[in-house]
Structure 1
Amino acid sequence: MVIPVHDVNPARRTPWVTYALIAANFVVFLRTPGMAGSLTGGSSLAQLCELRAFMEHWAAVPEELIRLRMPRAVPTGDVGLGPSGPGCVVGPPDYEKYPPLSVLTSMFLHGSWLHLLGNMLFLWVFGNNVEDRLGHVRYVLFYVVCGYAAGYGYALVNPDSGALLMGASGAVAGVLGAYLVLYPKARVWVLVPFLLFLPLRLAAWIVLGLWFVLQAVYSYGAAVTQAGTVAYVAHVVGFLAGMLLAWPLRRGTQPPPEPSRMLWGRQARHHW
């Protein structure tokens, strides 16, 4: 797996929506119970119970999306003493949850710093050019539609699942799919984890094509073993949705300028 750090593809306008989405994701993460201090150590049982209740309230659940109803019992956020010792209390929900809206709220939830930073890195590198091509308003609609396609795509494949779907991965996957359609030949600087981190400049179709193939393979493996904790199917569906939505725009997109020859991050000098 390669880690993108920068693309050689200048945008014509400031990507305010991309900046706002990244900021909103960080704000929600820092406001999520127990997440802000998760880098410094483990959380207490009370914090874990509060986190479970928060996620159950705002994350999307495939079974709820398909059946349009909530479960009879959810974590309440309290700690209780059960037959096997202390644990999180489960009881009837004291709130109303509209399952289709939970897909939108789930796009801003993340389960860890690594989950958040990974998604935001891909959005930072590739989101600005897709927003530049679509325009601010259409980009917002595009992002939300891809997120919904990813969420419901996963739910249709796993209609009986009670797993919590969270993260911007599905919507960001849509951005990657659109970038592949619009700028397949753009150059992307990536880090390859080989011994140390090896910097390379690759065409976008290689970087994003490899990413998609890995997601497809992982989604198949998770479906076979039923042990996957990452919603790879949502990534695949979001990516395909982004490609389909961007396809009509590909002919009107100017290719990025061919960058000067680069050597290990520095511009090489040519002498004629």
Structure 2
Amino acid sequence: MFNFTPVVRVLLLINVLVFLVTNDAIIDQFGLHSFLSDQFNPIQLLTHMFLHGGFNHILSNMIGLIVFGPMLEQFWGPRRFTFFYFFCGFGSALLFSAVNYFEMHDVYEAIQAYRANPSFESFSAFIDQHAGSYYDRLVPFIEQFKKFPNDSKTIQDSIAIANKIFTNQVDEPMVGASGAVFGVIMGFGLLFPNTELFLLFLPIPIKAKYLVIMYGGYELYSGIYRAQSDNVAHFAHIGGMLFAFILIKYWGSQRKTFY
């Protein structure tokens, strides 16, 4: 059914084996943390690519790898394909980390402003903007704060909650091969743009170049207008596609150099 080329086979095997032994402690240690986190370690720029948060997560990534990866490996050869895969993975991690740094810096600045002038109104505004998936758990406290806006203990608790929100977000690791796989999808679309693909959710064939445009547009929109409940690292996906585009265009330009 699938043509498992050597590098694709090894990447698939490593990802599956790592998934089978993965637990929360491994994800905390080897998932990619924010540059602002005390848990950040440079090795996480590599190790996060082999960790996944659940069965559906690894399934979707490995399907993308085995569908689009073999043709690229056959076209480039194992060494160039391996370099391409990890280049896209590193690139996705760097773009994600850069965006995350600015987002977390904004949260930190908001906390500093709240500490300087705590009130129910400013706490409510902070929560609306930065609480994300923690919002529902804070509803009882918000209601209590609204009833007793001048209570000193409640104000101190609100400051502690704001600090906790920052800590939880900055220490939340990003995992998955998605960045590298999205790079592979982009590479496939650039090199084989008119190849027709059949997708599970579309009854008609679609050319690879249009699939890449659809994926890229969706990820860009979702990254900019991300819902509070959305825990997908869209900018990691965009980073993988962007670095794939850059590398393929660079390799293409080298062919035009004569000696």
TM-score scaled to structure 1, two decimals?
0.63
Aligned to 2:45: 103
Whether 2:218 is the aligned partner of 1:220: answer no
Q: Which amino acid aligns with 1:154?
A: F
Report which of the two structures shows the higher radius of gyration computed on alpha carbons: 2
Deviations 1:79-116 (A, max 9, x none): xxxxxxxxxxxxxxxxxxx7221121110100010000
- Rounded to whole Å, the distance in 2 between the matches of 1:209 and 1:251 is 23
Aligned to 1:120: 62
* Contiguous gaps of at least 5 residues in structure 1: 34-50, 72-97, 193-197, 254-272
Does the aligned pair in 1 maintain the 2:189–2:211 contact within 8 Å?
no
**Helix, strand or coil at the partner of 2:197:** strand
Aligned to 1:70: 38
Structure with a larger share of its residues in strand: 1
Aligned to 1:129: 71
Aligned to 2:166: none
Q: 1:203 to 1:251 in 2, by over 3 A?
A: farther
- Rounded to whole Å, the distance in 1 between the matches of 2:90 and 2:173 is 15
Cα drift, residue 226 of structure 1: 5.1
Whether 2:214 is the aligned partner of 1:229: answer no
Q: Identify which of structures 1 and 2 has the higher relative contact order when contacts are C-alpha pairs closer than 8 Å and 6+ apart.
A: 2
- Rounded to whole Å, the distance in 1 between the matches of 2:49 and 2:82 is 13
How big is the alpha-carbon RMSD for the aligned residues of Structure 1 and Structure 2?
2.4
Aligned to 1:239: 241
Deviations 1:215-254 (A, max 9, x none): 11111112xx55431100110111111111112455999x
Residue identity over aligned pairs, in percent, reads: 29
Does the aligned pair in 2 maintain the 1:182–1:250 contact within 8 Å?
no
- Rounded to whole Å, the distance in 1 between the matches of 2:68 and 2:218 is 18
Cα drift, residue 191 of structure 1: 1.6
Aligned to 1:61: 33
- Rounded to whole Å, the distance in 2 between the matches of 1:190 and 1:249 is 30
Paired residues, number? 188
Structure with a larger share of its residues in helix: 2
Stretch moving more, 132-141 or 113-122: 132-141
**Helix, strand or coil at the partner of 2:199:** strand
- Rounded to whole Å, the distance in 2 between the matches of 1:209 and 1:231 is 18
Does the aligned pair in 2 maintain the 1:153–1:237 contact within 8 Å?
yes
Q: 1:252 to 1:123 in 2, by over 3 A?
A: farther
Which one of the candidate residues 164, 169, 180 is aligned to 2:173?
A: 164
Does the aligned pair in 2 maintain the 1:17–1:140 contact within 8 Å?
yes
Q: Which amino acid aligns with 2:232?
A: V
TM-score scaled to structure 2, two decimals?
0.66
- Rounded to whole Å, the distance in 2 between the matches of 1:164 and 1:132 is 34
Q: Which amino acid aligns with 2:207?
A: A
- Rounded to whole Å, the distance in 2 between the matches of 1:141 and 1:203 is 26
Cα drift, residue 174 of structure 1: 0.9
> Which aligned pairs between 1:5-44 and structure 2 lie closer than 5 A?
15-33=5-23
Aligned to 2:131: none
- Rounded to whole Å, the distance in 1 between the matches of 2:188 and 2:252 is 10
Does the aligned pair in 2 maintain the 1:61–1:163 contact within 8 Å?
yes
> Which aligned pairs between 1:157-196 and structure 2 lie closer than 5 A?
157-159=99-101, 160=104, 161-192=170-201
